[in-house]
Structure 1
């Protein structure tokens, strides 16, 4: 089986197109909220360009192929270059992306809890971020080129008003404090609220796609 991920960028829009055996099986398009046809419409110029490029029938200079995808499970982080990074099913958890725009080295952490871990496991915000940052630097990233994007930290159960139960808010605060301590600039955030999220980061251009549990999509 042949699986490919294509990134398409034109003057009007950009998209991630997922293909299996030369068949488009999914897409994330920056025009989703303004396009009457919806995603994966066969007449979309972005989809057509990606399909032709993937088939080799008409190489498109607007299309770049990514080298795969990595998914960070709860309490995990993933690091890679020229790939798609994902953290799925974020409720009170926070997805933290670190990105070196020069080398295109990127990392994503699926933060479960605030603070630091006593056992070195990366489910806590501070431990996850510092460990991921260290691995990125060891793999060629430069600290001075690294910035962050952050999404998640929802309050899924609205009736829980005790501060100790507001894990989402505490996770957000812990992530922000750790990034400040590490002197990493936060370029974009989409945090809080009461809706779950999936986050997808494109290490080719540094865009973060946030897909909400109600189907709406935000590009950052």
Structure 2
């Protein structure tokens, strides 16, 4: 009897290990950056949960998904745990200020906490849907505070990078590199929108996929 019990227990342990390993692999796939980050259709085809989250938020915020996605690409390259790296002098002496920017949206601690207080949202900066919601909230406030259209990804990115006060003070004017990056974001948003317009009908899942997404 002891031998039978031992074999059964060992089988359960092995099965459990397989499930843990499979779960870890699935989690890794879920947080890995998209294979083709320059094509919005490919991103949403690969990451169906991102697509459904983006569609819910586009309906909620009335902001074209191409805008926050272009900004997110620039900020984190769609990496969940992206952080600002410290620079070193002679590879030994740490130099410069370390930003608290973190996650998909590269949201800093202070503005993330402001977002949570104002919206009552919890969430995590390493969760795609939460980070996208934060970016849509910020874009909405950039329109309210600085009058920037939600479709203007170039100016929206400048406000995102410099802050609402910094944008009004035109602090970006002395940063040629930032203006260049912002124009790059604007161009990518236009490309994303063109790509999405061409594939949005194909992206719509079947009734079972959409029901499952609505359910959860």
- Please, what TM-score do these two structures have when normalized by structure 2? 0.25
Larger radius of gyration: 2
Instruction: Give the number of the structure with larger relative contact order, counting CA–CA contacts within 8 Å between residues 6 or more apart.
Output: 2
Query: Higher helix proportion, which one?
Result: 2
